[in-house]
Structure 1
Amino acid sequence: MISVYNFIGSWQLFPEKGIYELGSRPKSGICIIAGTTDTKGISINNSWVTLENDAFSSQYQLQADDALHNYPDTDFAESVKMELISSIQFYIYFYKNEEVILKVKHELLQNGYLKITQDGFAANGKQYINTEIYHKQMSVLPYASAASGAMIKPTEAGVIKHKALSAMEEQTNMQLDQIRRQIELLALQAQEIQMRKELSMIIYNAKLSFSPVVGSVYYLYQKNDDTHFLSMIGPQQWSKGSAYKNYIAQVKLLADHTWVEM
């Protein structure tokens, strides 16, 4: 017997992973899926916070019997049906005037994430597809915040509860951005050192007819036999028939005895 057990839990939205053809990307969201008392259906509680810090929520119950049931918010839909495909996939269909106006697909991905795909029609009749990715929380929070609800009703309590969440997200995102910038800077510095090391290896394996001076600028060339040599003469100063194949770079000797390309 197919069960919805794998879906039960509190799922937190990855806002940056979503694709929204209708509406704007929310700041945060949580989808709480719970079993019903009769064990034949599920309860879905969605709520989310917009970029403007407005909180919205929706809550409804479904029976996994592939049959039509009355939907409480008749302004949105007249009936709803849940189709349980497997233990990792089910569909929810919302009907109005005997036509499907919204199809919501829930599926568990191989990495353990929950993917919710909304396939519906906007008020102007244009079809849209919204996709959201969630990760499962270790504990169920006493509130929710997701963008995939059919009933949309603003809640003052949700705004209050999400103030702390919004402040926390803002601070942690700021700290993560700072760390990310530091990592990028370190990566650039490491790349620069690696380039200096590779250039230095070429120069120290090249032919040197003089002793280089720290801080001075020289010119690196490649000969016809593909070996290298260092010279104090620039490429514009050579006479015709010069004894080099390619001019490589203008280089400078640093205090740590590495070479850098100018």
Structure 2
Amino acid sequence: MKKNIPDNVVFSKDKGYHANILPYGSSVAAPAIKVDDVIAWKNRNIHAVNKEFENKFNELKFQYQKLMEEYEWNELVYSAKYAFEPVIGEVYHVYQADDFSYFLSLIAPQEWNKTHIGTFLLNSDKKWIKINS
């Protein structure tokens, strides 16, 4: 079958010359069709998203470690010996006794010579908050 129209001319029997309605360039003088570099875009965004996940993971890890530390301090204070009911908002001190057990006291560390473990505040949720002193 012989073709009467050159290859660079857009012609069909149904539509005729329809190069002006095509979504892409159809002549030799048309701008080149360039394929976007999707792989580089993906790699950049994968790196950014992975960095975000890593930051969130590290934040959660830090929060978990902080929560576990609070849990351990609360476990220590609640397992300590004391013969009074602690008051919310008051500061208490945990000491180590001669038998290596722990006890809770109102006496400040500078007022006597005992092994001071930590200073704590009882909050309204009945959670012991360690005070850095």
Following the alignment from structure 1 to structure 2, what is the Cα–Cα distance between the partners of residues 255 and 225?
A: 32
Secondary structure of the residue that 1:186 maps to in structure 2? helix
Partner amino acid for 1:252?
L
Following the alignment from structure 1 to structure 2, what is the Cα–Cα distance between the partners of residues 214 and 178?
A: 40
If each structure's helix is expressed as a fraction of its own residues, which one has the higher value? 2
If each structure's strand is expressed as a fraction of its own residues, which one has the higher value? 1
Match of 1:231 among 90, 95, 105: 105
| 2:51 is aligned with 1:177 | yes
The percentage of counterpart residues that share the same residue type is 28
Secondary structure of the residue that 1:194 maps to in structure 2? helix
Following the alignment from structure 1 to structure 2, what is the Cα–Cα distance between the partners of residues 189 and 255?
A: 21
For the pair shown, the structure with the greater C-alpha radius of gyration is 2
Name segments (4+ residues, structure 1) moved above 6 Å. none
1:141-197: per-residue Cα shift (whole Å, max 9, x none)?
Answer: xxxxxxxxxxxxxxxxxxx76832222112121111111111111111111111111
1:161–1:256 Cα change, 3 Å: farther
Please say if residues 220 and 250 of structure 1, whose CA atoms lie closer than 8 Å, have aligned partners that are also in contact: yes
1:163–1:215 Cα change, 3 Å: farther
Following the alignment from structure 2 to structure 1, what is the Cα–Cα distance between the partners of residues 36 and 111?
A: 71
Secondary structure of the residue that 1:191 maps to in structure 2? helix
What does residue 21 of structure 2 align with? Answer: none
What does residue 118 of structure 2 align with? Answer: 249
| 2:87 is aligned with 1:218 | no
Partner amino acid for 1:169?
N
Following the alignment from structure 1 to structure 2, what is the Cα–Cα distance between the partners of residues 170 and 255?
A: 48
Following the alignment from structure 1 to structure 2, what is the Cα–Cα distance between the partners of residues 185 and 255?
A: 26
Q: Which runs of 5+ in 1 are unaligned?
A: 1-159
Deviation at 1:231, TM superposition (A): 1.3
What does residue 164 of structure 1 align with? Answer: 38
Following the alignment from structure 1 to structure 2, what is the Cα–Cα distance between the partners of residues 170 and 210?
A: 61
Tell me the TM-score normalized by structure 2: 0.63
Partner amino acid for 1:179?
F
Please say if residues 207 and 230 of structure 1, whose CA atoms lie closer than 8 Å, have aligned partners that are also in contact: yes
Secondary structure of the residue that 2:55 maps to in structure 1? helix
What does residue 52 of structure 1 align with? Answer: none
1:43-87: per-residue Cα shift (whole Å, max 9, x none)?
Answer: xxxxxxxxxxxxxxxxxxxxxxxxxxxxxxxxxxxxxxxxxxxxx
Deviation at 1:254, TM superposition (A): 3.1
Following the alignment from structure 1 to structure 2, what is the Cα–Cα distance between the partners of residues 180 and 161?
A: 32
Match of 1:186 among 60, 63, 74: 60
1:3-33: per-residue Cα shift (whole Å, max 9, x none)?
Answer: xxxxxxxxxxxxxxxxxxxxxxxxxxxxxxx
- Count of paired positions: 98
